Amino acid sequence: MISTVGIMNSRTNLVGRRPTEIGELLAPHVDREFRGRQVARWIIDRNATGFADMTDLPLSLRQNLDRHFSIEEPEILEVIESSDGTCKFLFGLSDGVGVEGVSMREGAKATFCLSSQAGCAVGCIFCVTGAIGSGRNLRPDEIVGQYRAMLRRLDPDVERVNIVFMGMGEPLLNTGNLGRALEVLFERVSPKRITVSTAGILPGIRWLAALEKRPKLAVSLNAPDQDRRQRIMPIARRYPLVDLMASLRAFPLERGRRITFEYVLIDGFNDTEDDARATARLIHGIPAKVNVIPLNEDRDHFPELRRPAAVVVDRFAAGLRDRGLTVTVRWSKGEDVAAACGQLRDRQLER
């Protein structure tokens, strides 16, 4: 007796593949060339979950394709909704690994926070994901699959979706898979509505700069000097601040684009008016905006770190604005379900 499990596992997954790649894979199995484009549009544009959905294809063709190909994405194991409407998703991958993603709603707009790795080796001391340690890179189907799964759960009145790679992992340590995933996501989401955030991986920034189509770039800064930055971001020892800033000054920006600097405010560490002045001097001349992020506290992983008082946060932001910078204070959403910035963890692993 032949195991059906073996047959199912031998099928080629079409999620996370570009339209041309889908067409090439399907070519030996279709009667006409345009069938490959039809299937690609069903998967990418219409978010189809199976060949049975593709009603403009002959039934016999759908059945044949189903024998050779699959349309698979990470399984949603758990969804936890915050009091502010933010939803945190726990995704189960085919090898038993779990990753988390977040969907945030603001009026008619939603933002999906996607993971690029299962864990993170960068080890920023204010980030819970870093406490998990390193994990494997996610494949393109696992990255794009998070988007597909969250899109399916979205309210129909949402008119626009933005994507930020600020979930689990350091995206620019997974450029091969990230690049392939971006090409697929660009089919539905404009590059100007996709942001890749990095702790400052210089080879990855150079890779991003060389792309023909580029998402927006966000950089986790968090201190205006090398000494303090490397104390809370160990990766800064390998990629010093002076080299990072030189790379960012050379980064190509399309008209109207800016580099986003993310600055996590930690009480008594990097939150003074002098720090605001030093930060403004550091990024002077770079088209930029600054996201000021009051620390999301975690008593289990970094009990000694505290969030500054609101008056301190406002004073720091004002110090940046007074020096001509565009500033947003990002009071993170989803804190009550550990979905806020720096809080993502694999809850399945914790259990």
What pLDDT is recorded for position 135? 85
Question: H/E element holding 326?
Answer: strand 326-329
Percent of the chain with pLDDT over 70: 92
Tens of pLDDT, residue by residue over 128-182, are 887 777 889 999 999 999 999 999 999 888 999 999 999 999 999 999 999 999 9
Spatial distance between the Cα atoms of 14 and 71, rounded to a whole number of angstroms = 6
Ordered by where they begin, the domains of the chain are 4-70 (1.10.150.530), 75-350 (3.20.20.70)
The pair phi, psi for residue 59, each rounded to 5°, is: -60, -40
Evaluated on CA atoms 198, 143, 18, 40, the torsion sign reads negative
Half-sphere exposure of 15 (CA within 13 A, CB side): 22
Spatial distance between the Cα atoms of 42 and 36, rounded to a whole number of angstroms = 10
Spatial distance between the Cα atoms of 6 and 233, rounded to a whole number of angstroms = 45
* SS3 category, 103: strand
What pLDDT is recorded for position 334? 45
Tens of pLDDT, residue by residue over 259-275, are 999 999 999 999 999 99
pTM of the model: 0.91
Q: Which residues are catalytic?
A: 100, 341
